[in-house]
Amino acid sequence: MIPASASFTFDLPSGGSISQAQHEVRNALSSSSESDLAREKILEFITEHDDALYRTCVEGHLTGSALIVESSYQKVLVMLHKKLGIWLQPGGHADGEGHLSNVAYREAYEETGIENLALWTTAIDCDVHKIPELGDEKEHFHFDLTYLLIAPEDAVIKRNHESTDMRWVTLEELKVLTGEERLQRMARIGLELAQRINLPQ
pLDDT digits (tens, 9 = 90+) for 171-181: 999 999 998 89
Specify which residues 66 forms β-bridges with: 147
What pLDDT shows up at residue 198?
Answer: 64
Phi and psi torsions of 150, nearest 5°: -110, 130
What pLDDT shows up at residue 59?
Answer: 95
pLDDT tens, 6-47? 566 656 667 779 999 999 999 999 999 999 999 999 999 999
Domain 9-196 fold: Nucleoside Triphosphate Pyrophosphohydrolase (3.90.79)
pLDDT tens, 69-88? 999 999 999 999 888 788 99
What pLDDT shows up at residue 7?
Answer: 61
Comparing 198 with 33, which gets the higher pLDDT? Answer: 33
Angle between helices 100-112 and 18-26 (to 10 degrees): 90
pLDDT category of residue 200 using cuts at 50, 70 and 90: low
Provide the residue type at 85 as one letter.
Answer: G
- Look at residue 113 and tell me whether its pLDDT is greater than 70: yes
Cβ(71)–Cβ(153) below 8 Å: yes
Q: How far apart are CA 167 and CA 104, in angstroms?
A: 18
Comparing 121 with 150, which gets the higher pLDDT? Answer: 150
- Look at residue 129 and tell me whether its pLDDT is greater than 70: yes
**What is the signed CA dihedral for 68, 108, 27, 169, rounded to 10 degrees?**
20
- Look at residue 135 and tell me whether its pLDDT is greater than 80: no
pLDDT tens, 140-167? 999 999 999 999 999 999 988 888 999 9
- Calculate the alpha carbon distances from 131 to 32, 95, 106, 127, 137 in Å: 22, 17, 21, 12, 9
DSSP tag of 154: T
DSSP tag of 123: -
Count Cβ atoms below 10 Å from residue 110 Cβ, excluding itself: 13
- Look at residue 4 and tell me whether its pLDDT is greater than 60: no
Q: What 3-state DSSP class applies to 63?
A: strand
What are the structural domain ranges in the chain? 9-196
